[in-house]
Amino acid sequence: MTQYIRKFSEISASDINIVGGKGANLGFLKSVNINVPDGFCVTTHAYKEFIKPVEHKIYALAENINSNSLEGLRKTAQSIRDLLAENTLSPQITDQIIEAWKNLGSRTAYAVRSSATAEDLPQASFAGQQDTYLNIVGEKALLETVKDCFISLFTDRAMLYRMQNGFNHADVALSVVVQKMLMPESAGIMFTADPISGRRNVVTIDASFGLGEALVSGLVSADLYKVDKQNQQIISKDIADKKIAIMPLKEGGVETIELGAQRHQQTLSDELIVKLAQLGQQIELHYRKPQDIEWAMENGALFVTQSRPITSLFPIPNNGIDTSKEDENIYLSIGHLQVMTDAMPPLSLSMFPAFIPFRMYMAGGRLYANISAILKNPITRKMFLRGIHGADHLISLALTQWLNIHNNFKNQSRIPIKKILLFAIPFLGRILNCIFWRRYKICHLR
């Protein structure tokens, strides 16, 4: 008999094709003892069986969509969803869902969440493209929402996102995560690297009262906390005016309530902020890359309901530095100095360093020089800023502004001027030799 159900304890990180990105991540988190609400996944085998009666029709319709016509996309996506709505879950699928649900607790409320095989990937997150249902109570409601999740693989936004990112509709399948519902006092999102500045040594936390749905949906402004990974100190706290909260109802469903005096209060205590940041670092350590984490707090205990890679971060230069522990480094784009703002082709990336007499670092198809040591010394900093001003005024201005904000970065170098000259004189000599005296072999092309 086909296995349509996988418990979280039976899922590994490599099971994306069976339980989707979200399901595979939850199984992995469970396996490394992260506090995850228990649950199970309805596998992609069930999805494929569900769509089988109309499979050829829906993919034929999907292939003819013009991504430049939003109205055409909307009509076609609706036609596909209408076709799928006429299908029913087979008795085999229904029986296995009900059995797993009863074993986990039939009186418990559940979050029913879509988990696509092209979701929560390092190169494309697909976050929020398919549907999620909160606080689902009862057998009938559970089966209906599982079916609705299957159909949501063909929402307008999900289809457009796949087309824009080069994913074939027929190559993507969907699993459904059925997870015990928390009744949280607060919830939110945590990034183990600052997604705005790109700083890998800062954890940022968004927090609001009630379910995280209010935050994710943009219905409420959340508190924003930033924590330094090195010393576990809170860098900043921005307490928002939280007008509403979305709360779960015991009988199922959710309600939106208006907050009174609580709206101006700090959502998490300082102790919990640091504790949550430490949990984020623990998860990042397991994945070995910065994470976008959904979290919730129930009765003072912290839970993780999802973790996915942050896909919007610009890659760091390949120098092997652990950015969560080391001091900040400043890299200067060599291409921008040459008014080459686009990514370089592979030939340029391999040839360009041969003509520059110092070490280059590569990131995002561009070449960079680490100028941190130069800027930390007061003498070389002054010389460099004066020189770069003539080459590129905007880079000079940006560096000056950054250094004014980060005063602790200045004067960290205690290298004596003699050592600087011992490095600089041979360096300048190599440059002059390259320009005036080196003999280059001339190749005649015929």
The side-by-side arrangement of strands in the sheet containing 361-363 is 331-333, 366-370, 361-363
104 shares a domain with 35: yes
pLDDT of residue 443: 55
SS3 readout for 235-250: EEEECCCCCEEEEECC
Residues with Cβ within 8 Å of 196's Cβ and at least 6 positions away in sequence, in order, are 204
pLDDT of residue 273: 94
104 shares a domain with 33: yes
Q: Residue 316: inside a domain, yes or no? A: no
Highest mean pLDDT of the ranges 75-84, 86-95, 244-253: 86-95
Q: Residue 325: inside a domain, yes or no? A: no
415 shares a domain with 269: no
pLDDT of residue 96: 94
Q: What is the mean predicted confidence (pLDDT) over 214-226? A: 79
CA distances, 337 to each of 317, 360, 388, 394, 435 (Å):
17, 14, 9, 10, 19
Read off the pLDDT band of 118 (50, 70, 90): low
Instruction: Pull the structure tokens for residue 378.
Output: 């007061």
224 shares a domain with 163: no
DSSP string for residues in 130-179: S-EEEEE-SHHHHHHHHHHHHHGGG-HHHHHHHHHTT--GGG--EEEEEE
pLDDT of residue 390: 78
Q: Print the domain residue range for 258.
A: 186-309
Strand residue runs (E) in 26-126: 39-42, 110-116
Digit-coded pLDDT (tens) for 139-164: 999 999 999 999 988 888 888 888 87
Q: Residue 318: inside a domain, yes or no? A: no
194 shares a domain with 168: no
Q: Residue 317: inside a domain, yes or no? A: no
227 shares a domain with 95: no
**Which CATH number is 148's domain given?**
3.30.1490.20
* CA separation for the pair 255, 396 (Å, rounded): 52
Q: What is the mean predicted confidence (pLDDT) over 430-440? A: 65
Digit-coded pLDDT (tens) for 330-374: 888 888 877 778 888 888 888 877 777 667 888 888 888 888 888
pLDDT of residue 80: 86
193 shares a domain with 256: yes
pLDDT of residue 120: 47
CA distances, 87 to each of 55, 151, 250 (Å):
11, 10, 31
Question: β-pairing, 39-42 with 174-180?
Answer: antiparallel
224 shares a domain with 167: no
Using CB atoms within 10 Å of the CB of residue 213, give its burial: 0 to 12 exposed, 13 to 18 middle, 19+ buried. buried
Is residue 324 predicted with pLDDT exceeding 70?
Answer: no
162 shares a domain with 43: yes
* CA separation for the pair 27, 355 (Å, rounded): 49
**Which CATH number is 280's domain given?**
3.30.470.20
Write down the pTM of the prediction: 0.75
Q: Residue 324: inside a domain, yes or no? A: no
CA distances, 174 to each of 8, 34, 91, 206 (Å):
16, 24, 19, 29
Neighbours of 243 (CB within 10 A): 12
Q: What is the mean predicted confidence (pLDDT) over 48-70? A: 83
